[in-house]
């Protein structure tokens, strides 16, 4: 019985997008609407470092803590010339309210069709799983954070960015 349960869990993970990206792989491009109504393509940021963080849902405790940690460290990301994108399944209206409520200075992208989440292996049934990627100047995955401490995540990324630059 246990073996069948494990097979089912593994099968669902593969079906929903798996976890196939590795450091050095080309980062999957995306074309997603931002909270400001503009469309954002990752490929438009070639030549600069980009942090792409997937999170489950706007205005929930863990996601709020994570977003506010990025907000509180945002000037450091700017000094390094790093763009930060937060991505969830939430729609633009939800992102606008979340961004306004917590004064978030970075762009939130809506992955309502789950295409980016699938490409990055974060696709879940009802929400994206929490996972972050650093994309280097050449558009390749430089670092993957499969497990995230929402309160310390931004600081960890900043420390890693200084060694990657």
The closest of 164, 127, 133 to 52, measured between CA atoms, is 133
Q: Which two tokens stand for residue 164?
A: 């990657």
Query: In b/e form, how buried is each residue of 76-108, taking b as 16+ CB within 10 angstroms?
Result: ebeeeebbbbbbbbbebebbbebbeeeebebbb
Alpha helix (H) residue ranges in 82-152 = 92-102, 115-120
Catalytic residue among 32, 49, 51, 63: 63
Q: Does an H or E element contain 7, and which?
A: helix 2-15
Asked whether the beta carbons of 155 and 69 are under 8 A apart, the reply is yes
63 catalytic, yes or no? yes
Q: Which positions are annotated as active-site residues?
A: 63
């Amino acid at each position: 019985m246990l073996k069948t349960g494990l097979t089912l869990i593994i099968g669902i993970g593969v079906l929903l997008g798996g976890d196939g990206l590795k450091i050095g792989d080309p980062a999957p491009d995306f074309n997603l609407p931002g909270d400001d109504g503009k469309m954002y393509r990752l490929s438009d940021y070639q030549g600069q470092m980009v942090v792409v963080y997937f999170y489950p849902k706007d205005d929930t405790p863990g996601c709020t803590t994570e977003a506010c940690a990025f907000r509180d460290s945002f000037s450091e990301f700017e000094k390094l010339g790093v763009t930060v994108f937060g991505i969830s399944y939430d729609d633009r209206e939800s992102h606008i309210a979340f961004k306004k409520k917590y004064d978030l200075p970075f762009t939130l992208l809506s992955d309502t069709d789950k295409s980016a989440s699938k490409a990055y292996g974060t696709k879940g049934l009802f929400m994206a799983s929490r996972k972050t990627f650093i994309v280097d100047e050449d558009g390749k995955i430089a670092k993957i954070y499969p497990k995230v401490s929402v309160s310390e995540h931004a600081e960890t990324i900043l420390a890693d960015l200084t060694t990657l630059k």
